[in-house]
Chains A and B, each alone.
Chain A
C-alpha cells in the first residue's frame, strides 16, 4: 500500500501541465468552473457596500399561504414564527390537503385564537400544487408568500423577501434556506454544507446574473398578478421550478433575497435523502427537457439567451457531468490501472482544498449558517457531493428518461398523474 502511494505521488509529480489536464480533465471541465462562479459572486458582493435595508417597503397587502398534508405537528410552530415577524403578514391562509391526522382541528384552533385568518380543510388529497392554488385563490393580498409547513423564519425574513418586489418587473423572489437540524447525522451535516455552498451561494451568484431559475417552494414570494397570469401552479412535482420557469418566460424577473432566512429540516438518513434527490432531479429533468424544452430551441418564441444560459448550466454541469462521471472512472482504470485510486485521491485532495476555500467564503457571506460547527464535516462533504450525489443524479436521470418514474411518484396523487401533462 505504502509503495502504491509513493509510486502514485512520484507519478503525479512527474506530470506536465498538459498531461495533468488530460489526467484531471473531468475535474477541470466540470468542477472548477463551478467554483469560479462562486469566487465571482463573492468578489462582486464584497465590493459592493452593505446594502442598506430601506426599512419596511410598502409593497401592498401581504398574504402568506401554507398548504400541507398531515402536518399537525409542525404547522403551529410555523404560524407562530410568522407572527413574530418584524413585518407581520396581513393575512395567513392555511389549507389542509385531505389530512387524515388532526391537522384540520389544529387549524380550527389556530383560527379561533386569531393566529391565522383563514383555515380550510378538504376531505380528499389533491396534491401540493392544487392545495397551494386553493390557498392562493382564497387569499386577498397582492403579494403572495408561499411557505412550507415545517419551516421557521428569522425575524426579518418576510421584510427581506418582499423587498425586491418593490421593483414592478420582479414577479418572484426566493428566500434563503438554511438547514435547522445539521447535528442529527452525517448526512444532514453534509446537506447543511451543501445548502450553504451550492444552493445559497449558488443562488447568490445566479442572482447577480439574473439566473435564478428556481424560487424555492419552501419560501418564495410572488406578485399575485404574475402568478395569476401564468395560471398558478401546475400539477406534477417540482412545482416551484415549474412556476419559476413559467414566470421567467412570461417576462417576469426572479430574484434571490439572501437575508430572507428560512430554516427547515432535511432528511437525516441516506435512504430518505436519496428519495428526495431522486425526486428533485427527475422533476428537474422532466421540466427542463420535456415541459419547457422549447427554452433550448432557438426557433421557439419563448427562446431567450438568458434562459438558454441556465438551461445549459443544468444540462452540462448536472446531466452531462453525471453521465460522464462513470465513464471517467472506467477510463482511469483502463488507462492507469492500479494507480487509479491514488489519482482519485489526489483529485479529492484538490477538491478538499477548493471546498475549504469555498466554505470559508460561504461562511463569511452567510453568518447565520453557524459554519464553525460544520467545519468538522467538511472532509465528508466532498465525496458526498462529488461522488454520491452524482451517482444519484445519474440514476435519477436514467429513471426519468427511460422509465418516466416521475409519473409514479407518490408526492403527486395517482389520480393526477394519470392525466397531467
Chain B
C-alpha cells in the first residue's frame, strides 16, 4: 500500500486506493461479545460478499480458528474467558507453518494494547467505536496483503503498512505545557510512513486532539502525507521549527505569552468549526472534499504567496504543494463550493510547465542576449545618418561623408534614435525582442509564444459552507451511505435489532433520513430558536402519525431519522408525500423537508 497522491500532482486525488486486485470473497471470523457490533459486522460483511462466522468468547474463537481456515479474524481484545491477545499468542505458538489468518484487534484502548507485548502478534489494530466502512476496506486490504504474501512466499517479516509503535507522549516546549491542550507531534506521532497510536486515534476523528506540532524541519512534500490519513487534515499546524512560513497555521518558533494567546485563539477557532464540520468531510478520502473541509475549519481563504522554491513559484497557506491545491481548488470552483479571485498570471515553460523562467532581451535573429546599444547621429547639412561609432574620432565627432566636425547638438546634428546591435551575429534592430529561458529544462520561448498560467486565491462560498456543514446530502446527491458513527445510539440499537431480524428471516426495514433544506435560510432570517421549534414540531407530528411499536422517530444532530420496520425502501418511498404532509401540519415555516430512504442493502 503506497501513499501516493498528495505528493504526486499528476494522479487523480484519491489517496490510498487499493492495488488493482479484484476483491474476492473472504472467510471472516468475528469474535465480539457485543451482539450489536456482531450483527452489524455480519450484515456489512455479508453485503460485501464475504462469509462471516461469529463467536462470543475467546475459547470459542481459538477453537474456530484452529478448526477452520479463515482469511481474517477480527478479535475484540476484551473477550470473556480468553482475551484477544492470548488468542493471538496461542495461535501463533501452534502455527507450525500453517497459514495463519490475518489477525486484527478491535479495542477501545489502543494504548493499553500497544503497551502489552502481545501487540506484536496482531497485524492491525482498529479502535472502537468502529467505523464500519473502515472494517470493510480493511478486510479486503488485509486479504490482499495475505494473497500477495502467498505469491511472494518469502519468510521476510510481514510488511506492516503502518508502523505500530507506542510512542511516548512528546515533550512539549515549555510555553505549550500547561495550556492543557492535546498535541500530536510530527514526526513522532505522525510521520511520513508511521502513525502512532495517538495518531491512529486522531485519524478517526477523535475530537480530543487540538493541533499538530512540527518539531523537525520537514519538506512540503513530506507534510502532504497528512492528507491521506483522513481526519488529520483538520488540525491546525503549529510550526515549532520556524521553517515552514505560510504553510503552517501558526509559527510557534517564537515562544512567549504572545504566542500562547495566539495558540489559544487558533485552537479554539479550529475546534469550534471542527465541531460543525460534517462527518462526510471529516472522514472523506477525496482530496477535494478534504481541502474544502480545511478551508471551512480554518476559516481562512486559500491564499497564494510567492515561493521561489516551488516549481510553480506559488504556494498556498496549507500543507499541500501549490499545483495540487490549484488543481483541487479549481475542481471545487467548478462545483460552486469555492469562488476564486485572480492573483497573478505567470509565464510558464512550454515544455515542462515550470514558472521558473529567466527573462531577457535578445537578438531577434540568433536569440543571443549579448546586445549593445548604438546611438545614431544625423548630420543635417549633408543628410548623413549612421551609428555614432562612425562619427567618433577620439573626443570629436566627424561626419564620415562630408568630413565636417559636428559641434552643436540640435543645430548641426541630432540623435534620432538608437540601434540595438547583437554582438554575436551582427544583426541590428531598433527594438530587441524578449525571450524566456526555462531554468528547469532549458527550453526557450519568445514572449509572444510563451504560455501563461493564472493563479487564484480561493474563498469558500455559501454553497461550500453548506456542503461542509451538511455533507453530501446538502448537494442533493441521492443515495449515499450513512455512517454509523454519526447515528444516535438509540437508533443504532434499534437498527441492530432490525439487522438481526433481517439476517434471520429477511424481514426488511427502512431507515429514513430527514434533511431540512431550508435550515440555514430560516436560521438566518428567523433565528436558530425558531428553526429548532419548527423542527421539533415536525418530528412530533411524525411521531403522532406513525405507529409507535413499528416505527421509531429519532432526532439526530443535523438530520432526523425514522426507522420503519417491516417495510422495504421502495414501499416506504410511496408513503413519503403522506408522511411529509402529516409532519407539516400546523407548521408556519417551510422547512424544505427532504426524505431519503435506506434499506438493508445500503449498509455495505
Q: Please give, as numbers and ranges, the residues of chain B lying within 8 Å of A138 by CB-CB distance.
A: 428
Contact of A130 among B378, B410, B419, B431 (CB under 8 A): B378
Scan B403-423; emit 1 where CB is below 8 A from any A CB, else 0. Answer: 000000011101111010000
Partner-binding segment picked from A18-26, A114-122, A261-269, A357-365? A114-122
**Is A386 positioned at the interface, with any CB of B under 8 Å from its CB?**
no
**Is A85 positioned at the interface, with any CB of B under 8 Å from its CB?**
no
**Is A348 positioned at the interface, with any CB of B under 8 Å from its CB?**
no
A124 touches B383 (CB 8 A): no
**Is A104 positioned at the interface, with any CB of B under 8 Å from its CB?**
yes
Q: Which of B378, B384, B419, B428 has the most CB of A within 10 A?
A: B378
A231 touches B364 (CB 8 A): no
A235 touches B381 (CB 8 A): yes
For chain B residues 456-486, which have a beta carbon within 8 Å of chain A? none
Q: Please give, as numbers and ranges, the residues of chain B lying within 8 Å of A232 by CB-CB distance.
A: 383-384, 401
**Is B380 positioned at the interface, with any CB of A under 8 Å from its CB?**
yes
Q: Please give, as numbers and ranges, the residues of chain A lying within 8 Å of B386 by CB-CB distance.
A: 133-134, 137
**Is A112 positioned at the interface, with any CB of B under 8 Å from its CB?**
yes
Taking CB as reference atom, which chain B residue is nearest A97?
B416
B430 touches A119 (CB 8 A): yes
Q: Which of B412, B419, B431 has the most CB of A within 10 A?
A: B431
A125 touches B382 (CB 8 A): no
**Is B429 positioned at the interface, with any CB of A under 8 Å from its CB?**
yes
B383 touches A235 (CB 8 A): yes
Contact of A419 among B411, B430, B431 (CB under 8 A): B411
Contact A124 to B411, CB < 8 A, known contacts A104-B430, A231-B382 = no
Contact of B376 among A127, A134, A234 (CB under 8 A): A134
Contact of B380 among A111, A118, A120, A415 (CB under 8 A): A415
Q: Which of B364, B382, B411, B415 has the most CB of A within 10 A?
A: B382
**Is A418 positioned at the interface, with any CB of B under 8 Å from its CB?**
yes
**Is B521 positioned at the interface, with any CB of A under 8 Å from its CB?**
no
Q: How far is the CA of A104 from the CA of B414 in the complex (A)?
A: 20
**Is B290 positioned at the interface, with any CB of A under 8 Å from its CB?**
no
For chain B residues 410-461, which have a beta carbon within 8 Å of chain A? 410-412, 414-417, 419, 428-431
**Is A190 positioned at the interface, with any CB of B under 8 Å from its CB?**
no
Bin the interface of chain B by size: 20 to 34
Q: How far is the CA of A310 from the CA of B416 in the complex (A)?
A: 38
Contact A420 to B416, CB < 8 A, known contacts A119-B429, A137-B386, A232-B401 = no
Shortest distance from the beta carbon of A286 to any chain B beta carbon, whole Å: 16
B411 touches A126 (CB 8 A): no
Shortest distance from the beta carbon of A379 to any chain B beta carbon, whole Å: 43
Contact of A131 among B382, B385, B401, B410 (CB under 8 A): B385
Contact of B383 among A119, A121, A234 (CB under 8 A): A234
Bin the interface of chain A by size: 35 or more
**Is A98 positioned at the interface, with any CB of B under 8 Å from its CB?**
yes
Q: Please give, as numbers and ranges, the residues of chain B lying within 8 Å of A121 by CB-CB distance.
A: 417, 430-431
Taking CB as reference atom, which chain B residue is nearest A120?
B430
**Is A318 positioned at the interface, with any CB of B under 8 Å from its CB?**
no
Taking CB as reference atom, which chain B residue is nearest A128?
B383
Scan A228-256; emit 1 where CB is below 8 A from any B CB, else 0. Answer: 00011111000100000000000000000
Q: How far is the CA of A122 from the CA of B380 in the complex (A)?
A: 15
Q: How far is the CA of A71 from the CA of B254 in the complex (A)?
A: 67
Taking CB as reference atom, which chain A residue is nearest B416?
A122
Scan B371-410; emit 1 where CB is below 8 A from any A CB, else 0. Answer: 0000010111111111000000000000001100000001
A415 touches B411 (CB 8 A): yes
Scan A81-117; emit 1 where CB is below 8 A from any B CB, else 0. Answer: 0000000000000000110000010001001100000
Taking CB as reference atom, which chain B residue is nearest A415?
B380
B401 touches A231 (CB 8 A): yes
A112 touches B383 (CB 8 A): no
A234 touches B382 (CB 8 A): yes
Q: Please give, as numbers and ranges, the residues of chain A lying within 8 Å of B382 by CB-CB distance.
A: 231, 234-235
Scan B167-207; emit 1 where CB is below 8 A from any A CB, else 0. Answer: 00000000000000000000000000000000000000000
B412 touches A130 (CB 8 A): no
Q: Please give, as numbers and ranges, the residues of chain A lying within 8 Å of B419 by CB-CB distance.
A: 120
Contact A123 to B417, CB < 8 A, known contacts A130-B378, A420-B381 = yes
**Is A421 positioned at the interface, with any CB of B under 8 Å from its CB?**
yes
Contact A130 to B429, CB < 8 A, known contacts A120-B419, A124-B416 = no
**Is A406 positioned at the interface, with any CB of B under 8 Å from its CB?**
no
For chain A residues 405-421, which have a beta carbon within 8 Å of chain B? 415-416, 418-421
Q: Please give, as numbers and ranges, the residues of chain B lying within 8 Å of A122 by CB-CB distance.
A: 376, 378, 385, 416-417, 430
Q: How far is the CA of A415 from the CA of B409 in the complex (A)?
A: 11
Q: How far is the CA of A131 from the CA of B385 in the complex (A)?
A: 7
Q: How far is the CA of A419 from the CA of B378 in the complex (A)?
A: 13
Q: Please give, as numbers and ranges, the residues of chain B lying within 8 Å of A111 by CB-CB distance.
A: 364, 429
Q: Please give, as numbers and ranges, the residues of chain B lying within 8 Å of A125 by CB-CB distance.
A: 416
Taking CB as reference atom, which chain A residue is nearest B384?
A133
Taking CB as reference atom, which chain B residue is nearest A105?
B431
Taking CB as reference atom, which chain A residue is nearest B414?
A124
Q: How far is the CA of A112 from the CA of B448 in the complex (A)?
A: 11
A415 touches B410 (CB 8 A): yes
**Is A146 positioned at the interface, with any CB of B under 8 Å from its CB?**
no
Q: Please give, as numbers and ranges, the residues of chain A lying within 8 Å of B384 by CB-CB distance.
A: 130, 133, 231-232
B380 touches A420 (CB 8 A): yes
Q: How far is the CA of A377 from the CA of B376 in the complex (A)?
A: 49
B429 touches A123 (CB 8 A): no
Q: Please give, as numbers and ranges, the residues of chain B lying within 8 Å of A137 by CB-CB distance.
A: 385-386
Taking CB as reference atom, which chain B residue is nearest A126?
B378
Taking CB as reference atom, which chain B residue is nearest A234?
B383
B417 touches A124 (CB 8 A): yes
Scan A198-232; emit 1 where CB is below 8 A from any B CB, else 0. Answer: 00000000000000000000000000000000011
A235 touches B380 (CB 8 A): yes
A126 touches B412 (CB 8 A): no
Q: Please give, as numbers and ranges, the residues of chain A lying within 8 Å of B414 by CB-CB distance.
A: 124, 126, 415
Q: How far is the CA of A122 from the CA of B414 in the complex (A)?
A: 11
Q: Please give, as numbers and ranges, the residues of chain B lying within 8 Å of A133 by CB-CB distance.
A: 383-386
**Is A366 positioned at the interface, with any CB of B under 8 Å from its CB?**
no
**Is A63 positioned at the interface, with any CB of B under 8 Å from its CB?**
no
Shortest distance from the beta carbon of B360 to any chain A beta carbon, whole Å: 18
Taking CB as reference atom, which chain A residue is nearest B401?
A231
Q: How far is the CA of A418 from the CA of B412 in the complex (A)?
A: 9
Q: How far is the CA of A95 from the CA of B381 in the complex (A)?
A: 20
Taking CB as reference atom, which chain B residue is nearest A123?
B417
Contact of A416 among B380, B401, B429, B430 (CB under 8 A): B380
Shortest distance from the beta carbon of A233 to any chain B beta carbon, whole Å: 6
Shortest distance from the beta carbon of B16 to any chain A beta carbon, whole Å: 52
B383 touches A130 (CB 8 A): yes
Q: How far is the CA of A420 from the CA of B376 in the complex (A)?
A: 20
Q: How far is the CA of A97 from the CA of B417 in the complex (A)?
A: 10
Scan A122-151; emit 1 where CB is below 8 A from any B CB, else 0. Answer: 111111011101100110000000000000
A126 touches B431 (CB 8 A): no
Q: How far is the CA of A418 from the CA of B385 in the complex (A)?
A: 17
B428 touches A118 (CB 8 A): yes
Shortest distance from the beta carbon of B267 to any chain A beta carbon, whole Å: 60
Q: Which of A122, A131, A421 has the most CB of B within 10 A?
A: A122
B385 touches A126 (CB 8 A): yes
Q: How far is the CA of A406 from the CA of B378 in the complex (A)?
A: 21
Shortest distance from the beta carbon of B381 to any chain A beta carbon, whole Å: 5
Contact A127 to B383, CB < 8 A, known contacts A120-B419, A122-B417 = yes
Contact A419 to B380, CB < 8 A, known contacts A98-B416, A108-B431, A130-B385 = yes
Q: How far is the CA of A195 from the CA of B124 in the complex (A)?
A: 103
Contact A123 to B411, CB < 8 A, known contacts A130-B383, A419-B381 = no
Q: What are 22 A-B contacts defined by CB distance under 8 Å?
A: A104-B431, A111-B429, A119-B429, A120-B417, A120-B428, A120-B430, A121-B417, A121-B431, A122-B376, A124-B415, A130-B383, A130-B385, A131-B385, A134-B378, A138-B428, A232-B383, A232-B401, A239-B383, A415-B380, A418-B411, A419-B381, A419-B411
- Apart from A104-B431, A133-B385, A234-B382, list 11 A-B contacts with CB within 8 A: A97-B416, A108-B431, A120-B430, A121-B431, A122-B416, A131-B385, A138-B428, A232-B384, A234-B383, A235-B380, A419-B412
